[in-house]
Amino acid sequence: MKSPKDILYQYWGFDQFRPKQEDIIKSVLVGKDTLALLPTGGGKSICFQIPAIAMEGICIVVSPLIALMKDQVANLKRREIQAMCITSENSYREVDAMFDRCIFGDIKFLYLSPERLQSDIAKARIPQMKVNLI
């Protein structure tokens, strides 16, 4: 497993964490349920993205904000990290294919809206994934 600092440098180009980020990441990596409160722009996303990258499996992120999910996915893809979001905008056929990619492909982050998380297809397909973080 790569170190958090190695991942930070490889994907974000930084050689140091912002205040509190490293402590939060270490807590997540040792398996603790972790609640992190940081100000806007404080680098909260890195606090779950780095551990998820370090660990085998897929990270599921639940958000009611479609614009935020799309922005996060685009940001991860720019860094060559496989990510996708499933929202109410996707058809059943698209959702089915996307879940297949999460189960059988190399997707590292799956962003879901709360209504998609509660759907029958999500309830059936998520247990087939190797989920490392939610």
**pLDDT of 85 over the 90 cut:** yes
> What pLDDT does 1 receive?
75
Q: Extract the runs of DSSP E, i.e. beta strands, from the chain.
A: 58-62, 83-86, 109-112, 131-133
> What pLDDT does 88 receive?
85
Q: Which pTM was predicted?
A: 0.93
Q: What is the mean predicted confidence (pLDDT) over 72-77? A: 98
Token pair 């050689």: residue:
15
pLDDT-based confidence at 119, cuts 50/70/90? very high
* Strand order from edge to edge, sheet including 58-62: 83-86, 109-112, 58-62, 131-133
pLDDT-based confidence at 50, cuts 50/70/90? very high
CA gap 69, 115 in Å, rounded: 14
Name the amino acid, one letter, at 110: L
CA gap 74, 71 in Å, rounded: 5
